Structure 1
Amino acid sequence: MIMRYLDRGSLYVGSIDNKDVAVIVTVENNDGSVEIKNLAVAAAYRRKGIGRKMLEYVEKVYPDRKIILGTGETPSTLRFYRSCGYLYSHRIPNFFTDNYPNPIVEEGVTIRDMIYLFKKSDQ
């Protein structure tokens, strides 16, 4: 899936003490919005505010743009994005089951739908 968008995206890397600990990939859409396609933080650095800092960085890079992102329906992930000011937009039913060969299970939840969230630049 990453290969579908990486060549048209921008990759930002978060580092601590010269060690890369997080990445975020954005793609500029034709409608003027910016989509976060991937946000990943190394396991040892999670729950330390790094993911939030990565989102804030992207929001500063694109200050006047609507930011959108898609994620699985994992409770902690949705709580995280909501705490960062992202709101529910829509869902794509069966996205993960249609696009990945094996089931994805996170926090005991089999991920099926892609949940889209957004944040407007003036929030």
Structure 2
Amino acid sequence: MNIRKITGDKKEYIDLLLLADEQESMIDKYLERGEMFALDDSGVKAECVITKEADGIYELKNIAVMPDCQRKGYGKSLIEFLFSHYTDCNTMFVGTGDCPYALIFYQKCGFTESHRIKNFFTDNYDHPMFEDGKQLVDMVYLKREQNHAEKNPSIDI
């Protein structure tokens, strides 16, 4: 398994990006300002786009795993890679729909609910969005805070 930064044409991965965010105009709002990483395991299995929002604060804008590769640890591996890659990351946010599958995945990756943006999906998308048969309305933001002492046990607190 290899994770590499994509520095070329990020739109080459649009089909994978659209799995996690099905409206291309919304992807366009963050794609160029974000950094993209692809997880390759005998072919690209997953990707993510992350943006730096402020000092020590990052937002995971898009993470997608090929449908036939889901539930095999690829998404979690990408998230763990991001925390090791961005050593200055104190807090990572991720926004998702209010659906159990996504919320459980992020909770298993160490995220907790932070806040919600009411009517995000109905106000920002040009068509109704559905996941697991449920219409998405509010954006659920989750966060994971990094304890830098855990990464460097020689720090005395």
Q: TM-score, normalised by structure 2?
A: 0.75
- Helix, strand or coil at the partner of 2:110: coil
Decide which of 78, 84, 92 is 1:60's aligned counterpart: 84
Contact 1:64 1:121 in 2 (8 A): no
Residue identity in the other structure for 2:117: I
Corresponding position: 1:116 with 2:141 = yes
User: Cα RMSD (Å) of the superposition?
Assistant: 1.2
Q: TM-score, normalised by structure 1?
A: 0.94
Q: How does 1:68-87 map to 2 (within 5 A)?
A: 68-87=93-112
Structure 1 or 2: larger helix share? 2
Deviation at 1:74, TM superposition (A): 1.1
Count residues in correspondence: 122
**Which digits, 9 at most, give the CA deviation of each residue in 1:26-83, with x for residues without a partner?**
0001253010000000001001010100111111112341111111111011001001
Deviation at 1:94, TM superposition (A): 0.6
Residue identity in the other structure for 1:68: F
2:29 is aligned to 4
Q: Percent identity?
A: 40
Deviation at 1:105, TM superposition (A): 1.0
62-71 or 43-52, which deviates more:
62-71
The structure 1 segments of at least 4 consecutive aligned residues displaced by more than 3 Å after TM superposition are none
1:40 is aligned to 64
2:13 is aligned to none
> Take 1:63 and 1:90, find their aligned partners in 2: how far apart are those partners?
25
2:154 is aligned to none
Unaligned stretches of 5+ in structure 1?
none
Contact 1:89 1:116 in 2 (8 A): yes
Decide which of 73, 95, 99 is 2:124's aligned counterpart: 99
2:47 is aligned to 23
Deviation at 1:10, TM superposition (A): 0.2
Question: Which has the higher relative contact order, 1 or 2, with Cα contacts under 8 A spaced 6 or more apart?
Answer: 1
1:50 is aligned to 74
